């Protein structure tokens, strides 16, 4: 039997997932390859998308309803940024670091979508 999560539990898990997205952002932002391919907008789109989502959510971590409301507003842009990053990262390098970064960011988005749905179900 699975233990029922509270809205705060869901927010806490979302916050943990966002730490993984932040590490992808950090990898991309500080990578030499990112500077070498300024025309690939998905690279900096990833950086901006994760930054924007993180900053919007971090002030709401103690207010689950507000947090989930903001996540609902931001998830579409983050998902688009992850998709564009995956496309552009494949053009930058097939090195495992880039492949895993793209997979990781997409996984973060999927996890956030599941958590958002779970939180929405709890508020019904």
- Sequence-ordered list of residues with C-beta below 8 angstroms from that of 8, at least 6 positions apart, any chain: 64
Q: How far apart are CA 79 and CA 84, in angstroms?
A: 9
DSSP state of 30: T
Q: What is the CATH number of domain 7-122?
A: 1.20.120
CB 101, CB 28: distance < 8 Å = yes
Write down the pLDDT at residue 2. Answer: 55
Taking the C-alpha atoms of residue 68 and residue 112, their distance in angstroms, rounded to an integer, is 10
pLDDT of residue 38: 78
- CA separation for the pair 39, 116 (Å, rounded): 33
d(CA 38, CA 113): 30
For the entire predicted model, the pTM comes to 0.91
Instruction: Name the one residue in this structure whose structure tokens are 């207010």.
Output: 63
- Domain residue limits, the chain: 7-122
pLDDT, averaged in runs of 10, over the chain (124 residues): 79 97 96 84 90 97 96 97 93 90 97 96 83
Work out the angle between the directed axes of helices 96-122 and 7-29 (0-180°, nearest 10). Answer: 160
CB 119, CB 68: distance < 8 Å: yes
């Amino acid at each position: 039997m699975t233990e029922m999560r509270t809205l705060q539990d869901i927010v806490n898990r979302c916050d943990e997932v966002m730490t993984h997205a932040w590490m992808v952002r950090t990898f991309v932002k500080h990578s030499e390859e990112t500077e070498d391919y300024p025309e690939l907008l998905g690279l900096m789109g990833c950086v901006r998308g994760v930054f924007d989502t993180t900053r919007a959510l971090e002030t709401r971590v103690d207010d689950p309803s507000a947090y989930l409301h903001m996540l609902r507003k931001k998830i579409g842009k983050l998902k688009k940024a992850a998709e564009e990053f995956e496309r552009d990262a494949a053009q930058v390098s097939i090195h495992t670091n880039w492949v895993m970064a793209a997979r990781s960011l997409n996984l973060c988005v999927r996890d956030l979508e599941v958590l958002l749905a779970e939180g929405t179900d709890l508020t019904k």
